[in-house]
Amino acid sequence: MRSVAQRAEELRRLIDHHNRLYYVEARPEISDRDFDRLLEELKKIEADHPDLVTPDSPTQRVGGQPVEGFATVTHRAPMLSIDNTYNADELREFDRRVRRLLAKGETVTYVVELKIDGVAISLTYENGRFTVGATRGDGVQGDDVTHNLRTVHELPLRLNIAAPPPLLEARGEVYMTRDELARINRDRVAKEMEPYANPRNLTAGTLKLLDPRQCAERRLRLFAYDLPPAGGLPGVEFKTHLDSLRKLRELGFPVNPHIDSFDDIDAVIAYLHTWETKRNELPYETDGLVIKVNDLDQRRRLGMTSKAPRWVVAFKFAAEQAITRIRSIEVQVGKTGTLTPVANLDPVRLAGTTVSRASLHNADYIATKDIRTGDTVVVEKAGEIIPYIVRAEHAARTGQEKVFTFPTTCPVCGSPVQRDPRGAFYRCTSHGCVARLKRQLLAFAQRKAMDIDGLGVEIVNQLVDTGLVGSLPDLYRLKKEQLVGLERMADKSAQNLLDGIETSKGRGLARVLTGLAIPHVGDTVADLVATQFPDVQQLLAASREDLGQVKGIGPILAESLHEFFQSERGRQTIDEMASLGVKLTEDVKRKPANAFAGSSGVSGKTFVVTGTLARYSREEIEELIKKLGGKATGTVSRKTDYLVAGDKAGSKLDKAKQLGVKVLSEDEFDELIAVK
pLDDT at 421 over 50: yes
- Domain 4-60 fold is Helix Hairpins (1.10.287)
Write down the pLDDT at residue 231.
53
- Domain 434-579 fold is DNA polymerase; domain 1 (1.10.150)
DSSP 231-266: GS-TT---SBHHHHHHHHHHHT----S-EEEESSHH
By residue count, the chain amounts to 676
Winning range, highest mean pLDDT, from 92-96, 176-180, 330-334, 586-590: 92-96
Distances (CA, A) of 409 to 192, 412, 419, 435: 21, 9, 11, 14
Same fold, 84-316 and 321-419: no
Q: Does domain 84-316 have CATH number 3.30.70.20?
A: no
pLDDT at 298 over 70: yes
Domain range summary for the chain, segments of one domain joined by +: 4-60, 84-316, 321-419, 434-579, 606-673
Write down the pLDDT at residue 592.
37
Tell me the CATH number for domain 606-673.
Answer: 3.40.50.10190
Alpha-carbon gap, residue 417 to 428, rounded angstroms: 5
User: Pick from 39, 30, 37, 33: which is nearest to 63 by CA?
Assistant: 39
User: What's the rounded mean pLDDT across residues 145-174?
Assistant: 92
- Active-site residue flag, 115: yes
- Contact call for residues 326 and 372 (beta carbons, < 8 A): yes
Look at 545 and 70; give whichever has higher pLDDT: 545
Write down the pLDDT at residue 156.
93
Write down the pLDDT at residue 597.
40
Winning range, highest mean pLDDT, from 176-190, 219-233, 433-447, 648-662: 433-447
pTM of the model: 0.56
pLDDT at 593 over 50: no
pLDDT tens string 53-109: 887 787 776 655 555 667 888 888 888 888 888 889 999 999 999 999 999 989 999
Q: Which of 43, 104, 115, 369 is catalytic?
A: 115
User: What's the rounded mean pLDDT across residues 105-132?
Assistant: 94
pLDDT tens string 478-507: 999 999 988 878 889 999 999 999 999 999
Residues contacting 344, CB < 8 A, separation 6+: 326, 327, 328, 329, 330, 356, 357
Give, rounded to a whole angstrom, the gap between the first and last alpha carbons of the chain: 53
Look at 221 and 81; give whichever has higher pLDDT: 221
Tell me the CATH number for domain 321-419.
Answer: 2.40.50.140
